Amino acid sequence: MNRIGKYLLQFALLPFVFCLTAREGSGQVKAIASANKNIILQDELIKLQFNIENADEVQQFVPPSFKGCKIVEGPHHTAGTSAINGVVNNYVSFVYIIQPGGPGNYSLSGASAKINNRRFVFNTIRFKVNQAKHNNNQYNFQSQRYDDVLQQNLYSDYILRKGEDIHNKIRQNLFIKVDVNKNHCYEGEPVVATYKLYTRLRSESKVSKRPSFNGFSVYDIVDPSSVPSTIETLNGKDFNVYLIRKSQLFPLQSGILELDPAEVENSISFLSAEKAMKDKGAHLPELLRSFESDDVSHEGIVTENVNIKSNPLAVTVKALPASAKPSSFNGAVGDFSIEATINKNEITLNDAAVLRIIIKGEGNFGIINAPAVHWPKDIEAYEPEIKEDVLRTVVPMRGYKTFAFTVMPKRTGKIKIAPVEFSYFDPQVNQYKTAKTDSIFINAVPAAQKNLYNGSAVTEKENTKIKTNRFWIMGVAAGLLVLFGFILFRYIRLPFSAPAAKVVKKDSRLETMPVNQEELQPAFLSNPLFRTRLMLIQQNGQGFYSELGKALWNYMNERLQIPPGTHLSKKNIEEQLKIKGFDDIIIAQFQLLAQQCEVALYTPVINEAEMQSVYDLAEDLLDSISKHS
């Protein structure tokens, strides 16, 4: 019986396999994971990118298990098109910036995506984290080598001369400077604040306190650890310059807002000219080279520990004009446009369409919410799904935000959705502006009208053919129903029969012993996720994760044949999966599902939109385990 079902399934899937093969020939789907660095120092950041190429639709993305790492930013979503030698490729990327917890070798696996209704698994990302050389801090500012002439100019203050005030020397040659691109702005208008360390001294420095920005919405423009040092000239003197922080600030309120100082700890070393000259007796460039390579006796070095901080800086924020403020204004500041599209204009009463409202432009995207839509009484609309693609490294931020509403008609006929307004304040011209979408029209038709005839007449001959096909289809369906009933009866008849007995071989004789009916009920013959699927249909979040946890544990217990009396825990299941030869991807998927079930038990509000993705992942996991030999 199983063999018959297997052959039927193969023939049923043959057209889909053919279509998929033909499709991949024109543009193969690829899922590639990469990191911007293979080796980093402790406390440095690393960027992970998960690229999907040539996908018509990405239904789900599952990140890897970031074990031992902290997510600093992400996921950021980007999409676009590239053309190379006339070949056009579409791509979708998910980007994370993470910080590893400590030195060691890292392998991040388990990332997957459901693309065009198929599950694709990303490659494993591997990188190494080395021990930091200086105070295990992300910000280490060190001197650099230059030619002798520049070295004499830039590093002449390495030398502490006789009678020179060491504290005054430090104040003049080591300090933090704060710059803003504007001192006056409106609420919601971006201000760029840049904190830099300027030094002419030999020091090991680390940031002990990053500046806080109370009253602002903050977006860091760049990772300071990825920016090389530069040389700047102030008052005729050259300084080594190191970036501490560069951020885009959006004021949330009016008034005088103060930017808090940054603080840096420094261990400064000076070369005592008098003692060093006795040891070396060489000219200045050779002295400096010796000092940089630590080829100077300790008696010739003077060390001073100093904490420095920047001076506070104030920004004056003007309130937005109260007059002429549109009723649809909700805090957006910048330059924007709005448009609306619908995926189909003609739908049946039992069908749904997706209305997308897209806001594009530049400005404070962080505060933009779904615009008000005046829904007609003949339309039922649901909460929107929100997606954004915003470039945060430009000033002001630039990109778009999409609000996808699922809508269903309540009656037949033409239904009009009025234009949607979006108001914003443009600081360039100091006035409010309002953008509008076009009206959207939906033609709702009865289900029978759209599905049966498509506007063409049906002849008597065609009608006879339809009836013949209908009888043939009903006959095939009846046969399959009988076949299904036979299989169902075969597998579930035991629990309803007389008291069961187990046959046991003992001393070369066959004996019987009574057992519980539950012991004879196979765990995998029915769908292990049946009750989980039921909770998903009912949109019962707590029940969904509760049933998923039970199904996951029961399935693993039966499939892995864990010995009776063994404490069933996540750790034991992971060990059994490794012993049975399952790969790291399956183990990572199990870890992710188990973690989501645990978190959901203590989460008062559950995002029901994510339950379908979790269910798909669980189906894939159980299917992969069942196929494992």
Q: What is the pLDDT of residues 34-46, one digit of tens each?
A: 998 888 888 788 8
Tell me which amino acid residue 590 is: F
Backbone angles phi, psi at 406, to 5 degrees: -90, 125
pLDDT of amino acid 553: 84
Do 45 and 97 contact (CB within 8 A), yes or no?
yes
Whether cis (ω within 30° of 0) applies to the bond prior to 419 is no
Confidence of residue 485 (pLDDT cuts 50, 70, 90): low
Q: What is the pLDDT of residue 12?
A: 39
pLDDT at 147: 42
Q: Which amino acid is at 304?
A: E
Residue range 165-190: mean pLDDT, rounded: 92
Q: Which helix (H) or strand (E) holds 575?
A: helix 570-579
Q: In DSSP terms, which residues pair with 514 in a beta bridge?
A: 501
pLDDT in tens, 346-362: 998 878 899 999 999 99
Residues 6+ apart with CB under 8 A from 542: 600, 606
How high does pLDDT run on average in the chain?
A: 76
User: What value does the mean pLDDT take over residues 217-238?
Assistant: 86
598 compared with 104, residue with greater pLDDT: 104
Residue 603 is encoded by which pair of tokens?
């989460």
CB atoms within 10 A of CB 381: 14
Pairwise pLDDT comparison (379 vs 75), residue with the higher score: 379
Q: How far is CA 121 from CA 30, 124, 420, in A?
A: 10, 9, 41
Question: What is residue 410's DSSP assignment?
Answer: S
Closest Cα to residue 397, out of 334, 321, 475?
334
Across the beta sheet with 184-186, the strand order is 184-186, 313-318, 255-259
Q: Between the CA of residue 612 and those of 226, 423, 534, 536, 593, what are the distances in Å?
A: 39, 35, 12, 7, 13
Task: Examine the pLDDT at 265 and tell me if it is beyond 60.
Answer: yes
Q: Does 407 score more than 50 pLDDT? A: yes
pLDDT of residue 6: 37
pLDDT at site 314 = 93
Are 625 and 593 spatial neighbours (Cβ–Cβ below 8 Å)?
no
Strand partners, 179: 194
* Residue type, position 411, single letter: R
DSSP 411: S
State yes or no: pLDDT of 331 exceeds 60.
yes
Count CB-CB contacts under 10 A for residue 19.
10
d(CA 558, CA 227): 54
**Which residue would you say has higher pLDDT here, 147 or 552?**
552
First to last CA, the chain: 21
19's enclosing H/E stretch is helix 2-26
Q: What are the tokens at 438?
A: 């076009």
Q: Which residues share a beta bridge with 339?
A: 358
Query: Of the ranges 55-64, 181-190, 213-222, 261-270, which one carries the lowest mean pLDDT score?
Result: 55-64
What does the pLDDT read at residue 448?
61
> Token pair of 589, please?
């998927």
75 upstream amide cis, omega within 30 of 0: yes
Please compute the mean of the pLDDT values over residues 556-561 and round it to a whole number. 82
> Is 614 in contact with 551 (CB distance < 8 Å)?
no
CA atoms lying within 13 Å on the CB side of residue 381:
18
User: In whole angstroms, what is the distance from residue 200 CA to residue 88 CA?
Assistant: 51
pLDDT band at 115 (very low <50, low <70, confident <90, very high): confident
Does the pLDDT at position 257 exceed 90?
yes
